[in-house]
Amino acid sequence: MAERFIGLMSGTSLDGVDGVVADLDAGRIAVLAHASAPFPEALRAELLALNTPGDNELHRAALAANGLAHLYADVVRQLLNDTACSPADVTAIGAHGQTIRHQPGAVDGIGYTLQLNNPALLAELCRIDVVADFRSRDVAAGGQGAPLVPAFHRAVFGQVHQTLAVLNIGGISNLSVLPADGGPVLGFDCGPGNALMDHWCRLHTGRPFDDGGRWAASGRVDPLLLARMRAEPFFAQPPPKSTGRDLFHPGWLDAVLGEAALAPVDVQATLTELTASACAHDVRLYGGDASALIVCGGGALNDHLMGRLAALLPKLTVCSSAERGLPPQQVEAAAFAWLARATLRREPGNLASVTGARGARVLGAIYPA
Ligand SMILES: Nc1ncnc2c1ncn2[C@@H]1O[C@H](COP(=O)(O)OP(=O)(O)OP(=O)(O)O)[C@@H](O)[C@H]1O
Ligand SMILES: CC(=O)N[C@H]1[C@@H]2OC[C@@H](O2)[C@@H](O)[C@@H]1O[C@H](C)C(=O)O
């Protein structure tokens, strides 16, 4: 029988929170409502700052987690309102939290991944069970802790007779390859998605992102700069691999730009081409006989980026996940609703073939209402 879950995602784009309420059973997901809330500017600035070492981090991180839980609770209230549900109708909330550091395997061989969150406060505010901290068990089992959405991609988009590739373009981009024969799913982070493009756009135009990719489309790709960007060793590293703002941050961009005196619009064009070309390269290398590339995440709304992906992958049908029944801004939130269900059922949420963990693991921690 289907049960109702809420999924909450605030990702590396740092644009805000996406939430869905969905009815889930074994092979089916029906999204009833989607809601989003932008970060208040002060919270966004603090979360961004917490991505790099700074003063009094523990205190600041704890307070930012409280702010995040309040914003999550606002989204939950909106979802309950929009669907005329009461807290008792919802089995659990899956709340991803905000990744502020991601260093699996670092230093001591185990490393860590850190998602700011206050699931106890969220349970207190919403009176619904909360499942949180989805990544750390996979890291404890020797995995990357990311990406986690490939299992969900398989559940909602997988086909018996057709190999498919699914590309999420959030702040960071990640690819899932779903083989037709039900064989092991491949999945890994490709590199930057929108994070560097957003940073550059905000810096030079004051706008939070390049709507439709129109600014980038009016510029010229600089081949030398693109080659310097593509020389980043992460791109050539074989999976399992994951990344984040720990690597692809404004300092990385400043270093590759060096003394280059390029017009800002041409840098934007080149950053967009970096995302498109790195993802397309990975689809060619790892996509097997995939006939279609399903794109989700906010990047699917960037028409110029979608056009570049289609041009670089002429043998594949490149389409938005909306054409396969799930709008691009809902996919990750729906994935964390689905992962919360798996946790409650004590079913594994990770795919060892993706993260490199020693095996399948039940993910997350449960905070009762
Ligand atoms: N109309 C649009 N045109 C161009 N880009 C857009 C548009 N709408 C959203 N985006 C991009 O999508 C981003 C948000 O995407 P999304 O919500 O998938 O990211 P996220 O959840 O933070 O990412 P991650 O997958 O890294 O966790 C915005 O920051 C912006 O760059
Ligand atoms: C550590 C972390 O938060 N990783 C995110 C990030 O955003 C995209 C990409 O990098 C992906 O690996 C992951 O998110 C999705 C939801 C995932 O785990 O599949």
User: Is residue 363 predicted with pLDDT exceeding 90?
Assistant: yes
Give yes or no: residues 224 and 355 share one domain.
no
Distance between first and last Cα of the chain: 22
Tens of pLDDT, residue by residue over 56-93, are 999 999 999 999 999 999 999 999 999 999 999 999 99
User: Is residue 199 predicted with pLDDT exceeding 90?
Assistant: yes
User: What confidence score (pLDDT) does residue 279 get?
Assistant: 98
Residues near 136 by beta carbon (within 8 Å), at least 6 away in sequence: 112, 113, 145
**Structure tokens given for 68:** 């995040």
User: What confidence score (pLDDT) does residue 25 get?
Assistant: 93
User: Is residue 347 predicted with pLDDT exceeding 90?
Assistant: yes
Give yes or no: residues 264 and 136 share one domain.
no
User: What confidence score (pLDDT) does residue 26 get?
Assistant: 81
Q: Which ligand is nearest to the CA of 304?
A: 1
Whether the model pTM is above 0.95? yes
pLDDT band of 342, cuts 50, 70, 90: very high
Cα dihedral 300→102→147→208 (10° resolution): -10
Distance 15 CA to ligand 1 centre (A): 7
**Structure tokens given for 325:** 């029944």
User: What confidence score (pLDDT) does residue 182 get?
Assistant: 84
194 touches ligand 1 (CB under 6 Å): yes
User: Is residue 105 predicted with pLDDT exceeding 90?
Assistant: yes
pLDDT band of 221, cuts 50, 70, 90: very high
Q: Which ligand is nearest to the CA of 176?
A: 2
Give yes or no: residues 134 and 35 share one domain.
yes
Distance 203 CA to ligand 2 centre (A): 24
Give yes or no: residues 64 and 159 share one domain.
no
Nearest CA to 329 out of 31, 24, 114 is that of 31
Residues present in the chain in total: 369
Distance 98 CA to ligand 1 centre (A): 15
User: What confidence score (pLDDT) does residue 45 get?
Assistant: 97
Give yes or no: residues 335 and 253 share one domain.
no
Tens of pLDDT, residue by residue over 119-175, are 999 999 999 999 999 999 999 999 999 999 999 999 999 999 999 999 999 999 999
What is the rounded distance in angstroms from the CA atom of residue 190 to the CA atom of residue 243?
8
| Structural domain span for residue 268 | 149-326
User: Is residue 112 predicted with pLDDT exceeding 90?
Assistant: yes
Which of 152, 174, 326, 338, when mutated, tests ligand 2's pocket best, judged by the most ligand atoms within 8 Å of its CB? 174
Distance 173 CA to ligand 1 centre (A): 10
Residues near 172 by beta carbon (within 8 Å), at least 6 away in sequence: 12, 189, 190, 191, 192, 193, 195, 243, 244, 245, 248
User: What confidence score (pLDDT) does residue 181 get?
Assistant: 83
Give yes or no: residues 333 and 209 share one domain.
no
- DSSP calls for 190-210: EEESSHHHHHHHHHHHS-SS-
Give yes or no: residues 110 and 199 share one domain.
no
Which of 9, 10, 12, when mutated, tests ligand 2's pocket best, judged by the most ligand atoms within 8 Å of its CB? 12
Give yes or no: residues 322 and 333 share one domain.
no
Tens of pLDDT, residue by residue over 11-65, are 999 999 999 999 999 879 999 999 999 999 999 999 999 999 999 999 999 999 9
pLDDT band of 222, cuts 50, 70, 90: very high
Nearest CA to 274 out of 221, 218, 217, 215 is that of 221
Quote the number of domains for the chain.
2
Give yes or no: residues 307 and 342 share one domain.
no
Distance 7 CA to ligand 2 centre (A): 15
CA distances 6 to 12, 108, 343, Å, are 20, 35, 14
Which of 10, 13, 203, when mutated, tests ligand 1's pocket best, judged by the most ligand atoms within 8 Å of its CB? 13
Give yes or no: residues 133 and 164 share one domain.
no
What is the rounded distance in angstroms from the CA atom of residue 357 to the CA atom of residue 196?
29
Distance 151 CA to ligand 1 centre (A): 21
Which of 114, 117, 149, 186, when mutated, tests ligand 2's pocket best, judged by the most ligand atoms within 8 Å of its CB? 149
Q: Are the beta carbons of 325 and 346 closer than 8 angstroms?
A: no
Average pLDDT, the chain: 97
Distance 261 CA to ligand 2 centre (A): 33
292 touches ligand 1 (CB under 6 Å): no
What is the rounded distance in angstroms from the CA atom of residue 129 to the CA atom of residue 245?
30
User: What confidence score (pLDDT) does residue 27 get?
Assistant: 79
Give yes or no: residues 71 and 100 share one domain.
yes
Whole-number percent of the chain with pLDDT over 70: 100
ipTM: 0.98
Q: Whose CA is nearest to atom 12 of ligand 1?
A: 298
Q: What is the CATH number of the domain that holds 106?
A: 3.30.420.40
Give yes or no: residues 24 and 136 share one domain.
yes
Tens of pLDDT, residue by residue over 251-294, are 999 999 998 899 999 999 999 999 999 999 999 999 999 999 99
Q: Hey, is 310 helix, strand or coil?
A: helix
Taking the CA of residue 102 as reference, the ligand 2 atom at the shortest distance is: 1
User: What confidence score (pLDDT) does residue 71 get?
Assistant: 98
φ/ψ (deg, to 5) at 99: -65, 125
**Structure tokens given for 179:** 């083989």
Q: Are the beta carbons of 143 and 189 closer than 8 angstroms?
A: no
CA distances 24 to 34, 238, 340, 369, Å, are 15, 34, 11, 20
